[in-house]
Each structure stands twice: as C-alpha cells, then as structure tokens.
C-alpha cells in the first residue's frame, strides 16, 4: 500500500475519531450515553494514534524520497541532508498542519490522563468537547485544502527541489518550529477549560487552578520558540539583525503578549476573586491570536521569509477564527451576571492595582502590534493600495510601553495586596522605601556603568536604568528566598517567576543596546587587505569553492582581531532561483561581529584553491547580542522552575485534589 493511501487513511481515521468524540462526549454530558467519558478517553487516544501514524507515514515518504506523494515531490530532494529532510515536514504548508495536529492530539492525551480521576466531571467533559472540535477542524483542513497525501505521477529519475534554501542551512530550523508549536497549540487547553467554565457556569477560580501549569508550560514553549526564531534569523538571513517587526514575527508575539498578561492577572483572580471577565477574555484572545497567526502565516496574504505560499486554506482558518470569537463573546454575554467580581480594588497602590496596570500595558502593546500588522492588509482589502508599516512605527509606539512595563516589573512584586485600613499608607511608604533602596542603587549603577562604557542617548540609558531597577528587584526577592529556604527558594510560581523576570531584563537590556548602538559598513577587500571598523580588525585571507550534498558554497575566509578565521559564504542550491548568503558571527560577551558576503566581483582561481580576487563584505557590530540568547535560556529555566510546586503548595495539594477545587456541587447535564 502506498504512502499516500496510508497517510490519507490515517487522516480520515483521525477525523472520524474527532467527530465521534464530539458526539460521544455531548451525549454523555446530556445523560444519554452511559460511560461516555470512557469512550471519549479512548477516542482521544485513537485520534492521537491516527495523527502519529500520519506523521510517521509522511516522514517515511520524505526519508525514502517517495515522490509519488505531492508534498514530497514539491518539497523533498535526494540531496537534502538527513536532519533537514526530517524537518521538511514543517517547512511547507501541509506538513506544518500535520505537525500542528500531532501536537494538539498529544495535548489531548495528556489532558485525559491528567484528569482521568475526574473524567465524569462535566467541566472536563466540555473541555474535551472543545479539544475534539478544534482537532476536527484541523483534520478537516488536511482532508480538504491542506491535504498532505495527494498522489502524483512523476517521470523516471525525478528529483524534487527540496525545502526553501533558507530552511535547510541552520540546525535551529529543526527545533524552532516544533517548540513554537508546543507554545501555540498548548494554549488550546486553558481555552477549552475557559469555554467549559462558561458553559457549566462554574466561574470561580477552580478552572484557573486546574489549568495554571498548562498555561505556564505553553507560555514557556512560546517564549523559547520566539527566542530561537530570532536566533535563527540572526544566524541565517545575514542582514545583521534578529527582529524586524516582520508580520509573521508579530503573529507569534501577539499571543505571547496576551498570554503574559493572563499569567499575571490570574493571580489577582485567585487571590481576590477579581478580573473574571478579563481573564476569560485574555485566554480566549490568546487562543484566537494563535489562530490568526496561523491565518497570517499560511494563507499567503503576507510576503515574508517566514510565511508559506499562497493557498486555499486562508478562508477556512479565517472562518474558524470568526466562529471562535463569536461563540466566546456569546458565552461571556450569556454569563454576564455571574461573572461579576465579589470584590474590587481597595487601594490604588497595591499589588492588584499594579497587575491591572500591567495588563493594561500588555493589552496596549498587543493592540499596537496588531494594528501595525493587519493595517496594511485592511488597506489593501478595502482600498486596493499596497502600503507597509515600518520599524519606526513599532519602535516609537512600543518603547514607552516597554519602559512602563519594566518599572512595574520592579515595583509590583514588592507591593502588598490591597487593604482599606487607614494606617496602611504610612506603613506602605516605609515598606517600599526599605525594599526599593537596593534596586534604585542598582539602577543608578547601571546608568553610570553604561555612560562610562560610552553609551549615549536618553532611550537606551533609560532602558539600562529601568532594567537595573527591575533586575535588582527580582534578584533581591530571589536572595531573600534562597536565604530562607535554600535551593527550594528557587522553585514555585513566585520565585520561578522572579527568575523569568531576570531573563526578561537581560533580553530588554540586550535589545536596547544592540538596537541603539549597531554599526554596519561594507568593505571591498583584496586578498590580504585589512580594514578597521568599530574597534575590530578585519583581514580578508581569500576564498574557496566548497561542494556540499545540497549546495555549493563560495566561502570567504576572514580573520577577526587576529584570533580566529570565520567563513561567511554565498551558497547556490540546485533548484533555487537565487544565491543564498550564509553569514558567520563572532560572538563574545561584549559584542558580536557578523560577517556577510555580498558579492565576489572576481573569480580567478589559484592553484591552492583560494581566490585571488576581491570580496564585498558587510560587517555588522552589535553589543550584548549574546545576552539575548542567555536571557531566553534564563526565561526557559525560570518557567520550568515555576512549574514545580513550592513547599507550601505541595502541602496544600496533599489536602485537596485539583478538580475538587473547581466545584463542590455537581451541575445537572453540565449546564445551569
């Protein structure tokens, strides 16, 4: 049996399991099917097995170069290196949807296993219904406009073009998309429970406790995926940067912003019972923005190195996005009376007030990015004109929001929860003065050190100051926690969150430094000629032609600061319409020197294999770039530590089960 037939059968089986899962779960919730939750659990596993089988079949087709499968014929090649041959699955539209479904079904299996003891609970049942429905939609895409297993006939000796050359010349391509998908798709679980809470009317804080770790894990994967994507762009595209406010980059940033706001505001609801509508809206917005991001990257409406080619999948995804928004808003309107908070903000200077301001800033940040991303599409759709929104808009609009967020990051964790006692104002002033003295001194020291190092300009200096302020606050919290609890002081939601804050500060400071003080120049060098730029010595040694399995590289050998030789190149792929630059980067803790070959004007080969001509080389020097990647790693570590229960939470979890906190009273038929 052919790979196309096997794959199509697996996709059909997955779709059947998803649709049957919806029917079985709803009948069970309505009391018309006994033990419906057990059948739903079995169908979840069957759906995941079908998705896994489809992925295995596609990987088998790619590895064996089965060009009778259209996806392989259009994206595979006998010359593609093994690791990139496997990664070809997510390098094009149909395969990326296949990977999306596999991750989604994997989350479904973990979900039924996690809540196996509460499977009969109506809230779990409705959450599973949502998971089945979302899975069914993506399976329908693979049956229709994004079918990855179409059969084709190819002539004898046919060889495919391989994936996009930019997607097969750096190892990060093997990891960045799957990790990003783990973040994107992971937000489906809290969204499913949010819908279940609205349907069942159980709108207290229980569903938040049940999904906290799912939300944190999804946010952590999304964070790491974005950082790895920026790293890939920096190492691969050769333009000397890592973030260009590209629409597809923005599509991943948008759910990160709303997800970050949600992780902060959820603490207010759990502590004070406030912001119920806001938290539901943030969860729904985060999931909806992942669907919108899918539309932007897979519909062909955007011209981007990150996006896929034009296809018929766009209207389907846009329609699903509209359905999600409409149904969610209808449910919130239906439960409007029951969503009223039992308490309110009692003091303007309190932790919940700071978290509310934090959320307002994140919402403003997301609105600015969303407007700049979709505005050109709206203008083109309604007016026919083609416009673009450039970096100046994003930088000018997001900079003050970023400064305010860094300030709140420092102050909010030090504030007490609100109270109406009249003597709190004086006590609060004394407490804040004592707690903020160290962060203030660190902020001042950061500015002084930056000025002594040659930093100029109010914006970057302000960023360094606020970064030192926020970093000092987080480090103070961590040192106190370690002093009290030793290594246990690094785990748990609060302390793991402080480690994440340290990572955010590293990223913010590195971003400000690298963007503000980037220097770039082009040099036309003869062999043996040396240039001096931004305090670095650049020596051109010559070039050579190096053949590889999937490309031919013309490499320039360049020595930087008389230490090590680097090899930026221009690569030619057999089926590519243009040459692809392959940059080379010298990284230190202080700055990066990025080298990119723009042109080899002469190609006179000598007997020793080196070119005797010239090279036009672009040199980009940026300070503190390596701290971006270190900051991302720190954020990932902090996320992992925040998933571990602290000592107090471990004792609390021994006294109650997770879903018993959701509700004490059963709800007939799952609705009120």
The mean pLDDT value for 88-114 works out to 94
pLDDT at 248: 85
> pLDDT confidence of 176, banded at 50, 70, 90?
very high
Q: Looking at 154, 177, 203, which one is the last position of a domain?
A: 154
**Which segment, 278-287, 485-494, 646-655, is predicted with the most confidence on average?**
278-287
The rounded distance, in Å, linking the Cα atoms of 229 and 235 is 10
Number of other CB atoms surrounding residue 415 within 10 Å = 20
Q: Which residue has the higher pLDDT, 139 or 649?
A: 139
In a domain, 142, yes or no: yes
Nearest CA to 304 among 175, 164, 172, 181? 164
Tokens 């406030």: give the residue. Answer: 274
333 close to 406: Cβ distance less than 8 angstroms: no
588: enclosing H helix or E strand: none
Is the pLDDT reported for residue 162 higher than 70? yes
User: Which residue blocks in 529-625 are alpha helix, DSSP H?
Assistant: none
Tokens 């997510």: give the residue. Answer: 90
Q: Which domain holds residue 540?
A: 519-626
The mean pLDDT value for 227-256 works out to 90
For residue 498, what are the contacts with CB-CB under 8 A and spacing of at least 6? 413, 474, 475, 477, 478, 481, 638
pLDDT at 284: 96
The rounded distance, in Å, linking the Cα atoms of 282 and 278 is 6
The mean pLDDT value for 597-601 works out to 89
Q: Looking at 154, 187, 211, which one is the last position of a domain?
A: 154
Q: Looking at 111, 130, 154, which one is the last position of a domain?
A: 154
In a domain, 408, yes or no: no
Nearest-5° Cα angle at 522, 520 to 526: 140
Strand partners, 616: 524, 599
pLDDT at 651: 46
Q: What is the pLDDT of residues 397-448, one digit of tens each?
A: 999 999 999 999 999 988 887 654 555 667 777 778 888 899 999 999 999 9
134 close to 188: Cβ distance less than 8 angstroms: yes
Listing from the earlier edge strand, what are the strands of the sheet with 519-526? 519-526, 614-623, 591-599, 584-587
pLDDT at 419: 58
Please report, for residues 278, 512, 629, the alpha-carbon distance to residue 460 in angstroms, rounded to integers and kept in the order given.
33, 6, 19
Average pLDDT, the chain: 87
pLDDT at 423: 53
In a domain, 360, yes or no: no
Kindly report the pTM of this predicted structure. 0.91
The mean pLDDT value for 319-339 works out to 92
541: enclosing H helix or E strand: strand 536-547
In a domain, 27, yes or no: yes
What percent of the chain has a predicted confidence (pLDDT) above 90? Answer: 60
What's the total number of domains in the chain?
A: 2
pLDDT at 378: 83
Tokens 């913010």: give the residue. Answer: 508
pLDDT at 605: 52
pLDDT at 433: 84
In a domain, 657, yes or no: no
For residue 155, what are the contacts with CB-CB under 8 A and spacing of at least 6? none
pLDDT at 391: 87
For residue 465, what are the contacts with CB-CB under 8 A and spacing of at least 6? 443, 444, 446, 447
Nearest CA to 319 among 289, 282, 286, 292? 292
pLDDT at 386: 79
Q: Which residue has the higher pLDDT, 149 or 666?
A: 149
Give the dihedral of Cα atoms 517, 523, 529, 533; nearest 10 deg. -10
Q: What is the pLDDT of residues 295-304, one digit of tens each?
A: 888 766 655 5
pLDDT at 44: 96
533 close to 622: Cβ distance less than 8 angstroms: no
Nearest CA to 409 among 521, 514, 501? 501
pLDDT at 380: 79
pLDDT at 168: 85
The rounded distance, in Å, linking the Cα atoms of 302 and 377 is 8
Is the pLDDT reported for residue 307 higher than 80? no
pLDDT at 589: 93
Query: In whole angstroms, what separates CA 509 from the centre of its chain?
Result: 20
Is the pLDDT reported for residue 591 higher than 70? yes
621: enclosing H helix or E strand: strand 614-623
Q: What is the pLDDT of residues 382-402, one digit of tens each?
A: 877 878 888 899 999 999 999
pLDDT at 305: 47
In a domain, 428, yes or no: no
């Amino acid at each position: 049996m052919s790979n196309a037939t096997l794959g199509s059968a697996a996709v059909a089986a997955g779709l059947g399991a998803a649709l049957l899962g919806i029917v079985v779960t709803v009948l069970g919730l309505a009391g018309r099917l006994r033990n419906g939750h057990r059948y739903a659990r079995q169908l979840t596993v069957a759906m995941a097995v079908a998705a896994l089988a489809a992925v295995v079949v596609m990987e088998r087709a790619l590895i064996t170069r089965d060009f009778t499968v259209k996806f392989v014929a259009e994206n595979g090649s006998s010359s593609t290196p093994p690791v990139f041959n496997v990664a070809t699955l997510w390098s094009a539209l149909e395969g990326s949807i296949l990977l999306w479904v596999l991750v989604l079904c994997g989350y479904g299996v973990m979900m039924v296993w996690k809540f196996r003891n509460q499977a009969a609970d109506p809230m779990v049942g409705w959450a599973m219904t949502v998971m089945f429905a979302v899975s069914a939609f993506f399976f329908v895409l693979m049956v229709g406009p994004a079918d990855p297993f179409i059969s084709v006939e190819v002539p004898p000796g046919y060889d495919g073009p391989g994936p996009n050359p930019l997607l097969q010349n750096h190892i990060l391509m093997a990891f960045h998309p799957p990790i990003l998908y783990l973040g994107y798709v992971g937000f489906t679980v809290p969204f499913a429970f949010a819908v279940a809470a609205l349907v069942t009317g159980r709108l207290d804080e229980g569903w938040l406790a049940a999904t906290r770790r799912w939300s944190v894990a999804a946010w952590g994967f999304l964070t790491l995926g974005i950082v790895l994507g920026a790293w890939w762009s920096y190492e691969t595209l050769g333009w000397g940067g890592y973030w260009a406010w590209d629409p597809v980059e923005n599509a991943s940033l948008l759910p990160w912003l709303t997800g970050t706001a949600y992780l902060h505001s959820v603490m207010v609801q759990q502590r004070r019972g406030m912001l119920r509508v806001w938290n539901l809206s943030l969860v729904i917005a985060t999931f909806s923005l992942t669907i919108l991001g899918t539309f932007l990257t897979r519909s062909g409406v955007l011209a981007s190195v990150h996006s896929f080619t034009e296809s018929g999948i766009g209207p389907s995804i846009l329609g699903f996005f509209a359905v999600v928004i409409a149904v969610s808003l209808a449910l919130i309107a239906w439960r409007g009376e029951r969503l009223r908070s039992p308490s309110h903000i009692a003091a303007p200077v309190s932790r919940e007030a700071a978290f509310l301001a934090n959320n307002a800033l994140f919402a403003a940040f997301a609105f600015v990015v969303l407007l700049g991303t979709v505005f050109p599409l709206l203008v083109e759709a309604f007016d026919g004109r083609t416009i673009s929104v450039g970096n100046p808009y994003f930088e000018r609009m997001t900079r003050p929001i970023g400064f305010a967020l860094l300030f709140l990051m420092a102050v909010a964790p030090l504030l007490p929860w609100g109270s109406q006692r009249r003597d709190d104002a004086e006590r609060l002033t004394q407490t804040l003065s004592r707690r903020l003295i160290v962060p203030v001194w660190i902020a001042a020291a950061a500015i002084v050190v930056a000025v002594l190092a040659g930093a100029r300009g109010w914006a970057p200096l302000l960023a360094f100051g606020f970064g030192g302020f926020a970093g000092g606050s987080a480090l103070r919290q961590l040192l106190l926690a370690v002093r009290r609890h030793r290594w246990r002081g690094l785990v748990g939601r609060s302390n793991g969150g402080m480690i994440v804050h340290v990572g955010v500060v590293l990223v913010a400071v590195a971003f400000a430094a690298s963007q503000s003080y980037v220097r770039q120049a082009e040099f036309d060098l003869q062999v043996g000629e040396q240039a001096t730029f931004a305090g670095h010595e650049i020596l051109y040694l010559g070039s050579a032609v190096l053949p590889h399995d999937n490309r031919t590289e013309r490499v320039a050998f360049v020595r930087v600061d008389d230490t090590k030789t680097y090899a930026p190149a221009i690569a030619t792929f057999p089926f590519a319409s243009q040459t692809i630059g392959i940059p080379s980067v010298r990284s230190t803790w202080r700055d990066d020197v990025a080298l990119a070959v723009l042109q080899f004007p002469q190609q006179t080969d000598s007997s020793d294999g080196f070119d005797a001509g010239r090279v036009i080389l672009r040199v980009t020097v940026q300070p503190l770039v390596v701290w971006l990647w270190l900051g991302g790693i720190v954020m990932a570590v902090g996320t992992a530590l925040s998933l571990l229960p602290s000592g107090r939470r471990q004792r609390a979890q021994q006294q109650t089960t997770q879903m018993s906190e959701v509700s004490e009273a059963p709800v007939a038929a799952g609705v009120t």
